[in-house]
């Protein structure tokens, strides 16, 4: 009896461990647990390109992998969700003790069908309560858009077209050809016999066999398959359309500025649509300027005469098309590589906390490059030598 009890406890603990480690989001994205946000975002972009359903048509494994990648990114890219996940694992995100709440069965095989393989054990031993069904949320979509640096400076708006999947307009999301009635177009799944589940049994410890009921992958747990598929969506119940989104860029918006559209991601049958996140990045420098946070940088070339003698003015074009003036007094020397700071001529400063552009600006930094002649010769070389010889002591003192 002690032997059987021991194996029962051992098997139970193995099952719990299997559930807890069912989804390692870091492993899914191929990053370490101390990965930065940029490392997570880079890994996510590479994987979504590789496993996107559009690049793997008819590949169910790719579709499942794509959803898995998006789920992992959704959690690890959110500081709060990541903190909960690191502390409590996936169950912390699914409404278990310490979690913020979530749908039923997430993290368990059969999630979304209200099936919990250990529900009876917890109910009988620990007196737990079964959770009510809830609609799961689909993955969010990230769209990176490159805009001119001048657009970050001045702000503005533009329309962005994004291909998304929406409920098929031909079959109204039914998946079958509307020429046929449901009775003729739909039949029971030949794999699961219409139950929607498959029973998988394997030994997880000596003397302890585990039986798990999994959603049928042939019919996605519906118990039915489509005999006459919709000509538009091919039975997927959703079809691709192009939608327009109004993008508003506030003046001084930081690099990587994110604009969210709630519930506008791909529609997935049986799930709530995720969000579309538009991420703004600079396409390159405008008018010779580059950006670092709220400051702007550029290089300007001057002649040897200007560098030595001064007594000049120069107008430099700003990102909004206007000009600022930089000047040197007579005798004011500019050294090659010297950097000049011009206050309040940088980027408008955007307050992320308040969500608005302030009246303050960063600084502009100008690095001076001196254009030297390739070679000196003739009378100019002779006169210059004489000049240096005549004022040799004065040059040494400078």
Domains in the chain (CATH in brackets) are 1-134 (1.10.287.110), 139-176+233-282 (2.60.260.20), 181-227 (no CATH), 290-397 (2.60.260.20)
pLDDT attached to residue 23? 64
- Residues 6 or more apart in contact with residue 61 via CB below 8 angstroms: none
For residues 382 and 390, what is the distance between their CA atoms, to the nearest angstrom? Answer: 12
Cα distance between residue 325 and residue 313, in whole Å: 7
Predicted pLDDT at 96: 41
Handedness of CA 67, 17, 101, 44 (dihedral sign): negative
CB 312 within 8 A of CB 306: yes
- Is residue 316 within 8 Å of 324, Cβ to Cβ? yes
Q: What's the pLDDT tens digit per position in 15-38?
A: 444 444 446 899 999 999 888 888
pLDDT of 339: 94
- More confident of the two residues 217 and 43: 43
R_g (Cα) of the chain, nearest Å: 33
Percent of all residues in the chain with a pLDDT value above 70, rounded to a whole number: 80
Alpha helices in the chain (DSSP H): 2-20, 25-29, 37-51, 60-76, 79-88, 90-93, 119-126, 149-154, 182-185, 304-309, 378-390, 392-397
Q: pLDDT tens digits, residue range 145-160?
A: 999 999 999 999 999 9
Instruction: Check residue 394 and give its pLDDT.
Output: 65
Distances (CA, A) of 386 to 122, 379, 383: 99, 10, 5
Residue-level pLDDT at 104: 31
∠ CA 379-381-382 to the nearest 5 degrees? 60
- pLDDT at 392 (0 to 100): 73
Q: What is the pLDDT of residues 270-308, one digit of tens each?
A: 889 999 999 999 987 688 999 999 999 999 999 999 998
Closest by CA position to 52, among listed 40, 43, 61: 61
What is residue 94's predicted lDDT score, i.e. its pLDDT?
57
User: Which two structure tokens, joined as six digits, stand for 284?
Assistant: 């390159």
User: What is the rounded CA–CA span in Å between residue 237 and residue 167?
Assistant: 6
pLDDT at 5: 52
pLDDT exceeds cutoff 50 at 123: no
Residue 240 has pLDDT above 50, yes or no: yes
- Would you state the structure tokens that stand for residue 237, as one six-digit string? 């119940």
Q: Strand runs (DSSP E) across 100-176, as ranges?
A: 136-137, 141-147, 156-167
pTM greater than 0.85 (yes/no): no
Closest by Cα among 368, 347, 355 to 152 = 347
- pLDDT, mean over the chain: 80
Between 35-39, 86-90, 175-179, 229-233, the lowest mean confidence (pLDDT) is in 86-90
pLDDT tens for each residue of 320-377: 999 999 999 998 999 999 999 999 999 999 998 888 999 999 999 999 999 998 888 8
């Amino acid at each position: 009896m002690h032997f059987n009890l021991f194996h029962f406890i051992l098997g139970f603990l193995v099952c719990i461990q299997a559930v807890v480690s069912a989804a390692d989001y870091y492993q899914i994205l191929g990053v370490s647990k101390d990965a930065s946000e940029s490392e997570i975002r880079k890994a996510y972009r590479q994987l979504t390109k590789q496993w996107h359903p559009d690049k793997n048509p008819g590949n169910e494994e790719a579709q499942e992998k794509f959803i898995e990648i998006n789920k992992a990114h959704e959690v690890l890219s959110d500081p709060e969700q990541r903190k909960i996940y690191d502390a409590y694992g996936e169950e912390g995100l699914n409404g278990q003790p310490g979690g913020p709440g979530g749908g039923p069965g997430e993290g368990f095989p059969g999630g979304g069908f209200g099936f919990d393989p250990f529900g009876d054990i917890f109910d009988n031993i620990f007196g737990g309560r079964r959770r009510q069904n809830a609609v799961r949320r689909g993955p969010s979509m990230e769209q990176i858009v490159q805009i001119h640096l001048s657009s970050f400076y001045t702000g503005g708006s533009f329309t962005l077209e994004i291909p998304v999947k929406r409920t098929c307009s031909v079959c109204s999301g039914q998946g079958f050809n509307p020429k046929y009635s449901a009775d003729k177009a739909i039949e029971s799944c030949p794999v699961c016999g219409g139950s929607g589940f498959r029973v998988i049994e394997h030994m997880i410890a000596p003397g302890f066999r585990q039986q798990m009921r999994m959603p049928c992958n042939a019919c996605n747990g519906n118990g039915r398959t489509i005999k006459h598929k919709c000509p538009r969506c091919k039975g997927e119940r959703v079809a691709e359309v192009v939608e327009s989104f109004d993008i508003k860029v506030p003046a001084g918006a930081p690099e990587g500025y994110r604009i969210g559209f709630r519930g506008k991601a791909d529609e997935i049958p049986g799930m709530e649509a995720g969000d579309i996140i538009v991420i703004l990045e600079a396409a390159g420098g405008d008018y010779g300027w580059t950006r670092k946070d709220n400051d702007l940088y550029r290089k300007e070339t001057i002649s040897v005469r200007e560098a030595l003698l001064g007594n000049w003015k120069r107008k430099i074009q700003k990102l909004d098309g206007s000009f600022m003036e930089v000047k040197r007094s007579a005798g004011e020397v500019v050294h090659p590589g010297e950097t000049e700071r011009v206050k309040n001529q940088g980027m408008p400063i955007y307050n992320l906390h308040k969500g608005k552009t302030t009246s303050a600006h960063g600084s502009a930094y100008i690095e001076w490059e001196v254009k030297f002649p390739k070679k000196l010769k003739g009378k100019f070389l002779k006169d210059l030598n004489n000049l240096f010889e005549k004022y040799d002591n004065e040059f040494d003192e400078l």
